[in-house]
Amino acid sequence: MSTHTDLGTASARCFIVPPYLLDHIANLNNPRLEHASNAAKRALTSGPPFRSVRRGEPAPPQRTMRSGGEAAQRQGEPGQPTRFISDAGNTEELPGRLVRSEGEPATGDETVTEAYDGLGDTYALFWEAFTRDSIDGNGIPLAATVHFGEAYDNAFWDGTQMVFGDGDGQIFVGFTNSLSVIGHELAHGVTQYTANLVYSGQPGALNESVSDVFGALVEQHSRGQSANEASWLIGEGIFSDEVEGQALRSMKAPGTAYDDDVLGKDPQPADMSGYIETDDDNGGVHLNSGIPNRAFYLAATAIGGNAWEAPGQIWYETLTTEIKANTDFRQFAEATITVASRLFGNESRETEAVRSGWQTVGVIAQPE
């Protein structure tokens, strides 16, 4: 089953679970996992269309967001999020029934609470670390829908909001369980409103990597973890106890997040020597993203301290001011070095850490 999208004619929704993994689950020949297999098949073929902007252009200014069937206006001041959580009731109708708005008490539904808190934690990172007022920089409300679909095995950004499935219960156990997932998907919105990286090939892998970077930073910022204390895992907590694996991806060691009899082994390469040329997964966007992910991890741990400070600022400024929609790995690497030099000096520890990270993963050449 192919899930490749021709991005010359259409935009892709940005999913946390890559299509190659769902393909693998969908094609399992295991009666015990028939429920999970059927759930994966539905996840590959169902869902509403991505609410796209034109390829390679910035997203338009947006001051309202539909949630619960009504236009939701910004309520608070800069520095305060405006959140709306809706419940799809296991249908695929968006946005669903509005169940919690900003400032309202918890509903007793843990998934609603996790989504509400996760949106708040993501807002807090971008505001406190980068003085960015929501994903568009202008205070746009943050909306999410939970309980989407029947045992739906994914979470995604649809162009205006977050959408979370509950998982099949055998392999995936719910996508609000992981704060890095929530931060990852909302970061797709930040990319959409800034560089709007084309979701294909190396620009698409950078799109995925940027979301992994900020997803990890949301989790670390919320927990008060330094770069050297953090797990650098993306999607920790969404697998059932039956799965031999920690998470969907490891930024520290791409290719090691899971190694399971059912799921197989994490296929992400850790450097350019393993770069995967493929037409699937929009040109390998979830595969090759491991390469820039590891470059960020190496830079952040070499710099030390909190990763949302110097390294996060370098990546954020690169994303929002330095790159274009078709930027490839080398261009992105060079842009991060330029930004690091501007912020901290050409001979600084920060700049050298960024340069060394990209050299280690083979995106730029080692010095002779």
The span from the CA of 303 to the CA of 354, in Å, is 9
SS3 296: helix
Residues taking part in catalysis = 185, 286
203: which 2 tokens? 């620009």
Contacts 24+ apart (CB under 8 A), 27-34: 27/1, 28/262, 30/262, 33/170, 33/171, 33/262
Contacts 24+ apart (CB under 8 A), 249-256: 249/212, 249/286, 249/289, 249/290, 249/293, 251/212, 251/213, 251/216, 251/290, 251/293, 251/294, 251/296, 251/297, 252/294, 252/297, 253/294, 254/290, 254/291, 254/293, 254/294, 255/290
**Count of CA atoms in the C-beta half-sphere (13 A) of 43:** 34
**Count of CA atoms in the C-beta half-sphere (13 A) of 241:** 0
